[in-house]
Amino acid sequence: MLPSRVSVVVVGGGPAGFMAAITAATADSAGSRAGEVLLLEATPEPLHKVLISGGGRCNVTHACWDPRLLADHYPRGGRALRGPFSRFAAGDTVAWFEAHGLELVEEPDGRMFPRSNRSTSVVDTLRQAALAAGVRVQTAQAGQAAEALAGGGFRLRLRSGAEVQAERLVLATGSHPSGHRIATSLGHGLVAPVPSLFSLTLAEHPLAGLAGVAMDPVQLELVLAPLEGAATLPREAPQRQRGAVLITHWGLSGPATLRLTAFAARVLRQRSYRAELRVDWTGGRRPADLEELFSAARREQARRQMGNWRPWPDLSRRLWLHLLDRHGVDASLRWADLTRRGELALISALRDSRYPVAGRGPFGEEFVTAGGVPLSEVNLATMESRLQPGLFLVGELLDVDGVTGGFNFQHCWSSGWLAGKALAAQRMCS
């Protein structure tokens, strides 16, 4: 049976919701009054996104310790997050999990995972912390509507037909429409959600035969034509990113591609995901450096066939053979016999291959959503609504999204912790 009245009800059992509930219940060192923090999750299993993230390993956060630099990894909301991150950032997340018995370890690229390499460890830690704090977790209970009461507090109606009255309401529903619906019914605006962090589909896919090839580093640039009637491109475009790229059966994926699409999410949506993608397979090498590599190959590998010797060792052999074929250079040609014209064509292909983008990757493959409740409508020191006292908004429900690498989870931990601290302070004063 659900309680009819509680002090705090958190709608959404994801990372932000759990962090808000746990912090609200435990911030008072004297302990919380049993049953006052109720967490409702619509599905049978809370923290599902945590469970499946990182290939089942859960990239909890990123080893970016400076709050200002951390904020730079958020295409939307970054500048506004500098304040919240000055109070709770990546280092605080690592310390929080360690205090609750879970050690996080850093990988060479800065991503941080539980030492067990299992996302179940993160889920277990959060559920045990909630249990220890006295948070009451109810699954298969979806929030459907909410109203602010004249004397303060909220009445929350659930899909099951049950109702819960609470002094404070926390919305932590991620990008689910139910949270948007409740937030707008309580007076908030909504920045239209669009997919972010997705791979790209290439028209006629000339690289399809190279599926599985990974290159690092690669430099990517999206070239977007202005919209009709627009004199200039938005500040978000064109976009450039450098990093690892994976060729897939439909186009390009990998960290650099995902970062690129995150920063260009809105302008790509406006253009129905049509653009030109310029790929520098050299990762930014100068033309003069490439000419020297080609000259060295002609001198030192003169008798070798071009298909058997690449300009530099880390260049994928499959990609090199593809470029030779595409530009009419016989793979059996000796390096000594490569013409100047052939050399310039290959250097141009390595530095500036151009592919028309035909759309996003497979439907539903995107990782996060750009859009949500505008940050201007939230006090980012407490995550409390500026429009509706007692209402708190956290996590992906807000118009905040980060690039891949643990940054989206970090915003959930930070916003949940700030809301929990503010809720605990308000309860102590009431």
Phi and psi at residue 113, to the nearest 5°? -125, 160
Say if residue 228 is exposed, middle or buried (CB neighbours under 10 Å; 0-12, 13-18, 19+). exposed
pTM attached to this predicted model: 0.88
> Residue 5 pairs with which residues in a beta bridge?
165
Instruction: State the maximum Cα–Cα separation within the chain, in Å, rounded to a whole number.
Output: 88
- Prior bond to 238 cis, omega within 30? yes
Label residue 205 left, alpha or beta by phi (over 0 means left) and psi (-120 to 50 means alpha). Answer: left
Comparing CA positions, the residue from 312, 302, 252, 246 lying closest to residue 277 is 252
**Other C-beta atoms within 10 Å of 1: how many?**
5
3-state secondary structure of 90: helix
Measuring CA to CA, how many Å separate 52 from each of 55, 59, 110, 117, 120?
A: 6, 10, 20, 12, 9
Quick one: pLDDT band at residue 429, thresholds 50, 70, 90?
Answer: low
pLDDT category, 32, cuts 50, 70, 90? very low
Report d(CA 223, CA 95) in Å as an integer: 42
Find the helix or strand (DSSP H, E) in which 256 lies. Answer: helix 255-263
Confidence of residue 380 (pLDDT cuts 50, 70, 90): very high
Q: Positive or negative CA dihedral for 357, 360, 361, 363?
A: negative
Tell which residue, 428, 417, 410, has the closest CA to residue 382: 417
326-364, pLDDT tens digit by residue? 999 999 999 999 999 999 999 999 999 999 999 998 865
407-429 helix and 15-26 helix, angle to the nearest 10 degrees: 30
404 pLDDT more than 70 = yes
Structure tokens at 93: 């997340």
If you average pLDDT over every residue of the chain, what do you get? 92
d(CA 214, CA 244): 7
Model confidence band, residue 303 (pLDDT cutoffs 50, 70, 90): very high
**Residue 29 in this model has a pLDDT that exceeds 50:** no
pLDDT at residue 108 above 60? yes
Write down the pLDDT at residue 27: 65
pLDDT at site 146: 98
Residue with tokens 């205090």: 99
Window from 262-266, 331-335, 412-416 with minimum mean pLDDT = 262-266
Phi, psi angle pair for 361, to nearest 5°: -70, -165
What Rg, from alpha-carbon coordinates, does the chain have? 25
Closest-CA residue to 248 (of 357, 364, 405, 361): 361
For residue range 206-232, what is the model confidence (pLDDT) as tens digits? 999 999 999 999 999 999 876 665 555
Residues 6+ apart with CB under 8 A from 2: 38, 138, 141, 158, 162, 164
State the fold for domain 5-194+368-429.
FAD/NAD(P)-binding domain (3.50.50)
- Crossing angle of helices 287-300 and 340-351, rounded to 10°: 130
> Is the domain 196-283+354-360 a CATH 2.40.50 member?
no
